[in-house]
Chain A
Amino acid sequence: MEQFKIPIGRGIEAVINFFVDHFSFATKAFAGVTENGINLLVSAMMFFPPWALILIFTAISWLLTRNRGITIFTMAGMALIWNLGLWDPTVSTIALVIIATLFSIMIGVPLGIFAALNGVFYRIVMPVLDLMQTMPAFVYLIPAIPFFGLGPVAAIFATVIFSMPPAIRLTCLGIKQVPQELVEAADAFGSTKWQKLFKLQLPISAPTMMAGVNQTIMLALSMVVIAAMIGARGLGGEVWRAIQRLEADRGFEAGLGIVIVAIILDRIMQKLGSRAKKQ
């Protein structure tokens, strides 16, 4: 049986090589944008002393959620991270998550819209998303390396691929969930496709899209941690180093930092989602 192994792996490898050889201009452009983005964001955040940044985050959290519990947790959690000496890796993790999420949304939302409006594309993209979401996260690390080498850009690339499916899926779902009668009403008054999209479909699907963005952020965070293996720094890097040196205490503390960041992001996004729904 194994003598005639079907060359799936080889095929994928050939495709990757093809892209590496012929699309280096694209990978270089992506690398440039990403690297600059990360550097800019990190140095912007590092410009403030930790206590100032904590206050800023706390204020943002209050403005977005108007929820005392979440705001206090944000302040206390960040203070604990600072106290544990995890400030720098946390800042770089947050920067990676923000950049990766932005990419995922920028690519995922238009794809989701397109899938909702185009039946053929929908039938193609859905199985691909299923495949992408069941594939173990580590696998995405491998093609990232030939494109970008070890480092944060490769990590962002793998993270974007891994975290994009919910953005596509839930955008598409949200638009398809807009009641047929409302779409009919928009049509009956002579709306163009774009008017229908911007005046009806996107506003109504906003809460669902928000849920998608939330999932994307959570996936991005988990992937950024895993991507430490290919040179992403940050909290994941701390855990990775602790594993290699068998430092249980360091590893646990860094893990705690990740949990705190995850909870803060998740709660803020959930509040935003439910606020969007209420409107």
Chain B
Amino acid sequence: MTHKIVVDNVYKIFGPHPDKALKLIDQGHTNEQIMQKTGSAVGVAGVSFTVDEGEILVVMGLSGSGKSTLVRCINRLIEPTVGKVEVDGVDVTQLSTVELMRFRQKHFGMVFQNFALFPHRTVLQNVAYGLEIQKVDPGAMRERSMQALTQVGLKGWEDSYPAQLSGGMQQRVGLARALALDADIMLMDEAFSALDPLIRRDMQDELLELQERVKKTIVFISHDLDEAIKIGDRIVLMKDGRVVQVGTAEEILTNPANDYVARFVEEVDMSKVMTAESVMVKPSALAYFKSDGPRAALRKMQKAGISSIFVRRDGKIIGMVTADDAAKAIKDNARDLQSILITDIQTVRPATPAIELFPILAGINYPLAVLDDNDHLLGVIIKGSLLAGLAEGLQTGGNS
């Protein structure tokens, strides 16, 4: 399978002695040592990854980790010192100036952290900029720009100037400007970082919704793990210009490649990313509807030290019985569990976020069953195990 974008061993050294710096990187020197010895700053060092068509790849890392440099190496706003960037099999680093211009027009839409809108142009003129550059005829230009503006919900604002809009609206204009082009790749450098949290969440939702419709290949830069988890199909984690881990959010959270990633992951609110599956425990006992009567059920409960037990028939959980009811049934000489079976029980799916489990657990005084789509029991959640699971998750970075 071919990838949409291939970043192959890209280095970017800023400063006077790139060759020396490259050698020192190979020898394993840190960026600080290299700065002291050569006066050169290491922006990106030996980064490789791929992006598939229609994927949202989030590049994440702390300030100064080389994210902006990396994304600019992809469309060559910054010239990589060494390495190759392929888009649709074309090596971008080999293009001539004129070819590069055409290539950018055709393939790259870009959205910037501080919006970078042209203050002397109206909203519509901003959105139309990319098309104007390509000398699209005015009618089509207007139509496509209006369409892009409608997509981001800014119809009616086309004659305003950027300074008249709020931050969130300005970034929508930035988004529309990139969308109007019909380029197949969107490069977004901390596109939402300058927005305040609520608007930011809205924009993330809108981007995901938009992506459902437009299916672009998106490289999204972020320094926020929550954001990366929310919108990224995969995440590339960077530190000091190097890639520390590539994977889905789940992989990175549950299997941090090293201490650095683990520490990064700690900052996420674990209850948001952990699910029922990651905090459930194995049931200590089960009653079988066909073979177990009240006596057997009570005995199983007494042995396991529990006061209620789930009942299974044909592999499916059909309800539960309590120890009190079982004792009464024994007195009444009942043969089976039918009369005391409680079928109205709370269950959840494995993907239910842990944060939603708290209110459910608060309303019941028996364990919560985690069932798959066929009502097979995967595990149970008791109040104690939820808290323990979360606590453990916080310590190990989500691996429970």
Interface centre among A179, A191, A200, A204 (most CB of B within 10 A): A191
Segment with Cβ contacts to A, from B83-91, B116-124, B343-351, B384-392: B116-124
Q: A199-B132, A279-B120 are in contact. Are A190 and B110 (CB under 8 A)?
A: no
User: Which chain B residue has the least Cβ–Cβ distance from A196?
Assistant: B133
Taking the nearest CB of chain B, how far is it from the CB of A74, in angstroms?
A: 29
A189–B110 touching, CB < 8 Å? yes
Residue numbers in B under 8 Å from A179 (CB-CB): 116
Please provide the chain B residues from 266 to 304 with a CB less than 8 Å away from any CB of chain A in the complex: none
User: Which chain B residue has the least Cβ–Cβ distance from A187?
Assistant: B77
B114–A191 touching, CB < 8 Å? no
- A185–B118 Cα distance when bound, in Å, is 9
Annotate A181-212 by CB proximity to B: 1 below 8 A, 0 otherwise.
11011111111100100011001100000000
A184–B77 touching, CB < 8 Å? yes
- A265–B167 Cα distance when bound, in Å, is 40
- A190–B134 Cα distance when bound, in Å, is 8
B133–A195 touching, CB < 8 Å? yes
Q: A182-B116, A203-B120 are in contact. Are A191 and B75 (CB under 8 A)?
A: no
- A188–B183 Cα distance when bound, in Å, is 12
Annotate B170-190 by CB proximity to A: 1 below 8 A, 0 otherwise.
000000010001000001000
A185–B132 touching, CB < 8 Å? no
- A184–B114 Cα distance when bound, in Å, is 12
A199–B116 touching, CB < 8 Å? no
- A181–B68 Cα distance when bound, in Å, is 12
Taking the nearest CB of chain A, how far is it from the CB of B309, in angstroms?
A: 63
Does B112 lie at the interface of the complex (its beta carbon under 8 Å from any beta carbon of A)? Answer: yes
Q: A184-B112, A199-B129, A199-B132 are in contact. Are A189 and B105 (CB under 8 A)?
A: yes
User: Which chain B residue has the least Cβ–Cβ distance from A180?
Assistant: B116
What is the size, in residues, of chain B's interface with A at 8 Å between Cβ atoms?
Answer: 25
Taking the nearest CB of chain A, how far is it from the CB of B21, in angstroms?
A: 23
Taking the nearest CB of chain B, how far is it from the CB of A99, in angstroms?
A: 31
- A190–B54 Cα distance when bound, in Å, is 23
Taking the nearest CB of chain A, how far is it from the CB of B252, in angstroms?
A: 29
A181 is contacted by which of B102, B112, B177 (Cβ under 8 Å)?
B112
- A187–B187 Cα distance when bound, in Å, is 13
Does B101 lie at the interface of the complex (its beta carbon under 8 Å from any beta carbon of A)? Answer: yes
User: Which chain A residue has the least Cβ–Cβ distance from B119?
Assistant: A204
B104 is contacted by which of A189, A195, A199 (Cβ under 8 Å)?
A189
Residue numbers in A under 8 Å from B110 (CB-CB): 185, 188-189
Does B108 lie at the interface of the complex (its beta carbon under 8 Å from any beta carbon of A)? Answer: yes
Q: A190-B130, A190-B133, A199-B132 are in contact. Are A185 and B116 (CB under 8 A)?
A: yes
User: Which chain B residue has the least Cβ–Cβ distance from A179?
Assistant: B116
Q: Could you pull out 20 A-B pairs where Cβ atoms are within 8 angstroms?
A: A179-B116, A184-B77, A184-B112, A185-B110, A185-B112, A187-B77, A188-B75, A188-B104, A189-B104, A189-B109, A189-B133, A189-B177, A189-B181, A190-B105, A190-B130, A190-B133, A191-B101, A192-B133, A199-B129, A200-B118
Chain B contact residues, CB within 8 Å of chain A: 75, 77, 100-105, 108-110, 112, 114, 116, 118-120, 129-130, 132-134, 177, 181, 187
The 7 A-B pairs of least Cβ separation, nearest first, read A190-B105, A190-B104, A188-B110, A185-B116, A189-B130, A181-B116, A190-B101
Other A-B pairs, 20, CB within 8 Å; known A181-B114, A188-B104, A189-B104: A181-B112, A181-B116, A182-B118, A185-B112, A188-B110, A189-B110, A189-B129, A189-B130, A190-B101, A190-B102, A190-B104, A190-B105, A190-B108, A192-B101, A192-B133, A195-B133, A199-B133, A200-B118, A204-B120, A279-B120
